[in-house]
A = this chain, B = another copy of it.
Amino acid sequence: MSEKALFVGLDVGGTTMKAAVVDETGHHWPSVSANTESFKGQDVGLETMCETIRRAVKAADKTMADIAGIGVATPGTMDIAAGLILDPPNLKPWRNVPVRQHIQNVFKIPIAFQNDANAAAYGEYWVGAGREVKSMVLFTLGTGVGGGIIIDDKVLEGAHSHGGEIGHMKIEMTNPRLCGCGRRGCLETYASATSVTKRARESLTAHPHSKLAAIAAIREEDLTAKAVFDAANDGDELAKKIVDDSAYYLALGSMNMMHIINPHAIVYAGGMTHAGDAFLDRIRHYIAELALPVPASKTLIRYAMLGSDAGFIGSAACAKYMVQGKL
C-alpha cells in the first residue's frame, strides 16, 4: 500500500481521452489513452471512461482499493454542480449524460467532475506554470480560445458552469469578426490558432508575393497556424505582422483579465505556444503597453508546462481537493 493518497485523473476530449494515477504531490504514473468515439453514443462513452480509469490503475501497478478518488474532466456544455454533460458540440450526439453519477455507481468512491479547460488550469496551478502562486488565469489556444481561472486553490466554476469562458469576451465593436459561437467580436475569433490561419488567408490577395502566398499556392491546407509562425521565425514580413497582431490580441485579453481578476500569473497553453519565446516576448511587450502599471509590472506571464497532461493532472487535483479539502 502506498503512503501517499492516490487519485485517478481522467481527461475526456473530443477525439481521445487520457488518464493516469496521480499521487497527492502531483506525481503521476504512466498515462493511458483511448479513442473517445462519441459517435458510438454515450453509453459506450461512459463504459470507455470506466475502462480507461481501470487501465490507468493497472498501468500504475495499483488496484482500485488503492485509489482515494477519481476526477473526470470533459468538454462543455455542462452542469458542473450536477455532474452532467448537457449538449456538448465536441461529443455529438451525447446529451444530458450523468457522468459523475455513472462513474460513482461503478467505482463507489468519491468522484469530482470538472470542465476540461478548468481542469487544465487547475493542473498547471497545482504543479505546473502556476505552482508557486495563489491565483492564475489560463488561456488555452487551439481551434478556439478556452480558459480557466483559479483563485486561492478554487476553480472559478461560475453560477451556471460558464466561469472562465474567456474566449467569449467581446473586444471589438466597430468591425467585429464573426465567432464560431454565433456572436461577434469574441477574443477567440482574434486570438485562436484558427484565427491565425484565417487572417493569413485574408491577407494573401494583398500580398501575392509573400512566403505565405507561395505556401498556399502549392497546397492551401498547408497554410496552417504553424506555417505562419514558422514563416515569421524565418523573417517573412507578412507572417511577422500576423503573429504580432495575434500577440496584441492575446495581450488585450490578458490585460482585461488583469483588470478584472488581477491574478498573480497568466499562462498560455495549446499548440500556439510552440511559437516559442519570441511570441511570448511580443505578448509581454503589448501587455506592458496596454495594462495598468502595477499589474503590468507584477503579473507573471508564462507558457504552460504540463502539455496535454494538464487535464488529467488537474482532474486528479479536483479529486484530491474534494477528498482532502485542500490542494
A: residues with CB less than 8 A from B are 77, 133-135, 149, 151-152, 154, 156-166, 168-175, 181, 183, 252, 255-264, 290, 292, 294-295, 298-299
When C-beta atoms are compared, the residue in chain B nearest to A164 turns out to be B260
**15 A-B residue pairs with CB within 8 Å:** A151-B151, A152-B154, A159-B295, A162-B292, A162-B294, A162-B295, A164-B262, A165-B259, A165-B262, A170-B171, A171-B172, A172-B174, A183-B290, A256-B256, A257-B260
Contacts of A170 in B (CB 8 A): 171, 252, 255-256, 290
Distance of A85 from chain B, by nearest CB (Å) = 14
Q: Are the CB atoms of B263 and A159 closer together than 8 Å?
A: yes
CA distance A161 to B292 in the complex (A): 12
Q: By CB atoms of chain B within 10 A, which of A159, A163, A168 has the most?
A: A159
Number of copies of chain A assembled together: 2
| Given A157-B262, A160-B295, A166-B260; 6 other pairs, CB 8 A cutoff | A159-B299, A163-B262, A165-B259, A165-B260, A168-B259, A173-B252
Contacts of A151 in B (CB 8 A): 151, 156
Q: Are the CB atoms of A158 and B261 closer together than 8 Å?
A: yes
Distance of A267 from chain B, by nearest CB (Å) = 14
Q: Are the CB atoms of B181 and A292 closer together than 8 Å?
A: yes
CA distance A162 to B175 in the complex (A): 30
When C-beta atoms are compared, the residue in chain B nearest to A135 turns out to be B159
CA distance A262 to B292 in the complex (A): 24
Decide: A262 near B298, CB < 8 A? Known: A173-B171, A174-B175, A292-B168.
no
Distance of A140 from chain B, by nearest CB (Å) = 15
Decide: A294 near B261, CB < 8 A? Known: A151-B151, A171-B171.
no
Contacts of A263 in B (CB 8 A): 158-159
Distance of A298 from chain B, by nearest CB (Å) = 5
Q: Are the CB atoms of B252 and A162 closer together than 8 Å?
A: no
